[in-house]
Amino acid sequence: MSFGEVLLWGLLKFAAIVLGFVMVVATLLTLLERKQSAYLQNRVGPNRAFLFGKKFPLSAFIGQILADAVKMLVKEDFDPPRANTWLHRLAPALPLFAALMVWMVIPFGPGPKPGTEGEHWFQIANLDVGILWVLAISSIGVYGATLGAWASNSAFSLLGGLRTAAQMISYEVTIGLNMVGLFMIFGSLKLNDIVWGQGELLWGWLPKWGIVVQPLGFVLFVAAAVAEIKRAPFDLPEDESVLAGGYSTEYSAMRFALFALGEFIGIVIMSALASVLFLGGWQIPWVATPLLADGSIDYGWLTVMQVGAMVIKTMFMVFLLQQIRWTFPRFRYDQLMRLGWVYMLPLSIANLAITALVMFLLR
């Protein structure tokens, strides 16, 4: 393909993934978060904004989402006095930018088997660095929170921003180290190759998913992922009862909503990553991926089901992260740092060492 075609297809796929999946899920999350938390706390949640009365099912859902959007757009957009206006306005865009760029490398459906040539129809770019792109880009998100906090000219915001920086750096280490175990087992950084590797069966019946070969890695990854997207029980950066909202204290209207949107997309990203790395991605267990005789893929109904499997796994992870967020109380700040550096980091390294040892013995 020429460069122009690559660019065109990339943009088309980006629009399809972002507008067709990511934004839809993130928008739904704004409502589902409140509904889910309400139900698990024996409350009802928002149920007043109806679209055209109660004429059709889900009119309360859609009405609430539209009402939220209108509210966010028409509220006063406040610039705090003596804040650095330019940085203050730039900051909310950075986490959103980072959150959207990560989708470049997430495979939603089968690409060609490793070692064979073919088009990657369900992935925007099959980069050689693969997962490193995710780590590199998602680190930009921390600048958004920290810059916004510093530019706000508010002590609460500054404390929140400092906490964000410290927390993201601490837990990114754990996330990265837990991914290394998978690179060692599947021998590639490309997410597509990792998903292909997870299609095999261990001893003829157990799917070789990341969660099966790296159970401790999965637990540590989920815990670190929750910390990375700044959700409870690791939501120290916004800590509303202590810091009055943390780094987003001085934000209002749509700019606050951009921070929130970046956070919600972060949830979907971490869920998609967890399902790609640990839950087999688009692989349906015990259903062999059909390959034609020449090694290329037969795109058909099975492919549709595989994309569906990826979406379902991602949604399950979103559900799990939300459940965790509404179940556990917030950590204290020293507990957070101790958990990250004293327990989770050594455990990740031990996990790596054991993985290496087992791989050496099974060689």
Binds another protein (CB under 8 A): choice among 6, 40, 202, 357: 40
Q: Cβ 336 to another protein, closest distance in Å? A: 13
Nearer to another protein, 37 or 252 (CB): 37
Size of the site for another protein (CB under 8 A): 13
- Collapsing DSSP to helix, strand or coil, 297 comes out as strand
CB of 23 to another protein, least distance (A): 25
Alpha-carbon distance values, 93 to 34, 118, 161, 229, 248 (Å): 24, 35, 16, 16, 13
Asked if 241 interacts with another protein (CB under 8 A), we say no
Q: Are the beta carbons of 48 and 57 closer than 8 angstroms?
A: no
Out of 8, 54, 201, 327, name the contact with another protein by CB under 8 A.
327
- For another protein, the closer CB: 60 or 145: 60
Long-range contacts made by residues 259-262, C-beta under 8 angstroms, separation at least 24? Answer: 259/92, 259/95, 259/144, 259/145, 259/148, 260/30, 261/26, 261/96, 262/92, 262/95, 262/96, 262/98, 262/99, 262/141, 262/144
Q: Is 43 near another protein (CB under 8 A)?
A: yes
Q: How many CB atoms are closer than 10 A to CB 264?
A: 24
Query: Residue 328, interface with another protein (CB under 8 A)?
Result: yes
Give the largest Cα separation in the chain, rounded.
68
The piece of 36-44, 165-173, 205-213, 234-242 that touches another protein (CB under 8 A) is 36-44
Expressed in angstroms, the distance from the first to the final Cα of the chain is: 40
Q: Which two tokens stand for residue 53?
A: 């009365």
Q: Are 28 and 69 in contact (CB under 8 A)?
A: no
326 binds another protein (CB under 8 A): yes
Residue 64, CB-side half-sphere exposure with 13 Å CA sphere: 16
342 binds another protein (CB under 8 A): no
CA–CA dist 338, 123 (Å, integer): 38
Binding to another protein by residue 36, rule CB under 8 A?
A: yes
232 binds another protein (CB under 8 A): no
Residue of 90, 93, 125, 219 that binds another protein (CB under 8 A): 219
Helix, strand, coil shares, percent, the chain, to 5: 65, 0, 35
Q: Which DSSP state fits 53?
A: T
Binding of residue 75 to another protein (CB under 8 A): no
Q: Which is nearer to another protein, 116 or 335 (CB)?
A: 335
349 lies in the binding site for another protein (CB under 8 A): no
Pattern of binders to another protein over 284-323, x per CB under 8 A? ---------------------------------------x
**Which CB, 99 or 223, lies closer to another protein?**
223
Member of 5, 42, 115, 300 binding another protein (CB under 8 A)? 42
Residue numbers at the binding site for another protein (CB under 8 A): 36, 39-44, 219, 323-324, 326-328
